[in-house]
């Protein structure tokens, strides 16, 4: 078996997708599968660092760069036409330049790959369902199998007349040992320059509206003695967020940091927050956040939006839920955790035990078995 992973993703990138793609390729290789990753060569990429060094991932597979345009930044200003030009150019060159053997497997997160390489063995990993479904439905029917993050995505595909036996549920993954580090809260706070005398609620990741960071920041106004720390976000996201919340005495905003330092931040916190919004399907039904599994692995108590996507993994036994898009509810849940050490002990133990089934290795091994069964 040889896997050729094709995806129109800039590498390296601060987006979680980049890390997940690299981890999947590395785990495929560790499982004994010859693996090659094909991504666009973006001449305007600000980050020239080697992706293996950037993500601290073993260099056990090959990265191939396909010539590409760099038009995605124009999408916000001039419309999605530039998105389509960008991806079609990349996929057309991929079709032209990538030599696919009879027994090769094409693995991708881009549904158009299934359409373009319809005569090959295409396995699709699906994280979302677009609003415009005509081309999407045509494409996914060409895939040999579709790997989805949760039951919500599976059920929606079934409603689109995709055979149930063609769909395989595969939540996101984590390296548990990477986040279950042996460091005290005091030591962790020294390393990342956080105060020792505050209760800290931590959020890591991007600041998109559907991620709910604004909701968590609004809840900080109700808990003036608690420090709310936000770690992540790109320059384009940080401006508005800093203007809204950066002046508050109990809000600390830090821009994107290396993935390798995130475990220290998690150990420094008293509470870890997943405030996803219910206003978009990608948040309420489709997502399987990498941060969720990282939080669980770090043994920190989690407060999370009560959404179908989050309840795929969490329950009342291993976290405290809040009403999504409701700062008052998040503030009450945070107080509940801070005032109840026995609750913290119970939910963190349950959370850590349950996360072990979601390792990257388990995820990849299950996918490999599923692909072989199709062969």
Give me the phi and psi of 273, to 5 degrees please.
-115, 135
Note the Cα 322 to chain centre separation in Å. Answer: 21
160 plus 90 within the same structural domain: yes
168 plus 182 within the same structural domain: no
User: Residue 324: how many CA atoms within 13 Å on its side-chain side?
Assistant: 21
157 plus 206 within the same structural domain: no
Over residues 279-289, mean pLDDT: 97
Q: Average per-residue pLDDT in the chain?
A: 94
Domain tally for the chain?
A: 2
313 plus 348 within the same structural domain: yes
What's the CATH number where 197 sits? 3.40.50.2000
208 plus 145 within the same structural domain: no
Question: Nearest-CA neighbor of 203 among 145, 265, 151?
Answer: 265
Q: What is the pLDDT of residue 236?
A: 75
State whether residue 183 is helix, strand or coil.
coil
Over residues 261-270, mean pLDDT: 98
Quick check: 290 and 296 in contact, CB under 8 A? no
144 plus 17 within the same structural domain: yes
Q: Which domain holds residue 230?
A: 176-357
191 plus 118 within the same structural domain: no
259 plus 199 within the same structural domain: yes
Question: Which residues does 149 contact at the CB level (< 8 Å), separation at least 6?
Answer: 126, 127, 169, 170, 171, 172, 286, 287, 288, 312
357 has pLDDT over 90: yes
Q: What is the pLDDT of residue 295?
A: 98
Range with the lowest mean pLDDT among 9-18, 44-53, 163-172, 220-229?
Answer: 44-53
State whether residue 79 is helix, strand or coil.
coil
Q: What is the pLDDT of residue 135?
A: 94
120 plus 157 within the same structural domain: yes
70 has pLDDT over 90: no
Residue 257 carries which DSSP code? Answer: -
Report the C-alpha gap between 291 and 355 in whole angstroms. 12
Torsion of CA 358, 364, 365, 368, to 10 degrees: 140
Number of H helices, E strands in the chain: 18, 13
268 has pLDDT over 60: yes
Over residues 9-15, mean pLDDT: 89
129 plus 74 within the same structural domain: yes
Q: What is the pLDDT of residue 245?
A: 95
In 261-338, which ranges are E strands?
Answer: 271-274, 302-305, 320-322
Q: What is the pLDDT of residues 108-155, one digit of tens each?
A: 999 999 999 998 999 999 999 998 899 999 999 999 999 999 999 999
320 has pLDDT over 60: yes
Report the C-alpha gap between 251 and 235 in whole angstroms. 18
Report the C-alpha gap between 159 and 229 in whole angstroms. 41
147 plus 262 within the same structural domain: no
With bands split at pLDDT 50, 70 and 90, how would you rate the model's confidence at 43? low
84 has pLDDT over 90: no
DSSP H or E segment with residue 311? helix 308-311
């Amino acid at each position: 078996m040889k896997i050729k992973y094709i995806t129109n993703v800039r590498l390296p990138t601060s987006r979680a997708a980049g890390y997940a793609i690299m981890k999947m390729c590395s785990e495929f290789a560790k499982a004994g599968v010859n693996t090659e990753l094909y991504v666009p060569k973006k001449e305007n990429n600000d980050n020239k660092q080697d992706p293996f060094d950037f993500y601290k991932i073993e260099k056990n597979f090959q990265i191939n760069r396909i010539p590409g345009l760099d038009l995605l930044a124009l999408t916000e200003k001039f419309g999605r036409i530039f998105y389509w030009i960008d991806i079609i150019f990349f996929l057309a060159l991929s079709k032209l330049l990538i030599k696919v053997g009879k027994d090769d497997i094409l693995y991708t997160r881009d549904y158009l790959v299934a359409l373009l390489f319809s005569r090959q063995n295409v396995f699709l990993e699906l994280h979302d369902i677009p609003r415009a479904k005509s081309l999407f439905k045509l494409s996914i029917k060409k895939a040999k199998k579709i790997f989805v993050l949760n039951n919500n995505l599976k059920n929606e595909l079934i409603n689109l007349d995709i055979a149930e036996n063609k769909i395989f549920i595969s939540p996101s993954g984590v390296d548990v040992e990477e986040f279950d580090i042996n460091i005290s809260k005091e030591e962790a706070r020294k390393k990342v320059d956080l105060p020792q005398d505050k209760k800290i609620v931590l959020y890591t990741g991007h600041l998109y509206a559907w991620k709910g960071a604004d909701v968590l920041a609004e809840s900080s106004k109700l808990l003036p003695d608690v420090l709310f720390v936000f770690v992540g976000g790109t320059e384009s996201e940080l401006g508005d967020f800093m203007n809204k919340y950066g002046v508050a005495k109990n809000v600390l905003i830090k821009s994107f940091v290396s993935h390798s330092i995130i475990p220290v931040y998690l150990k420094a916190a008293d509470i870890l927050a997943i405030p996803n919004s219910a206003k978009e399907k990608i948040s309420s039904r489709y997502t399987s956040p990498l941060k969720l599994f990282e939080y669980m692995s770090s043994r920190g108590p989690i407060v999370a939006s009560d959404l179908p996507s989050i309840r795929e993994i969490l329950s009342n036994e291993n976290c405290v839920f809040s009403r999504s898009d409701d700062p008052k509810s998040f503030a009450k849940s945070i107080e509940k955790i801070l005032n109840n050490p026995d609750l913290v002990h119970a939910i963190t133990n349950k959370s850590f035990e349950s996360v072990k089934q979601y390792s990257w290795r388990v995820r990849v091994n299950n996918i490999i078995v599923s692909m072989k069964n199709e062969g």
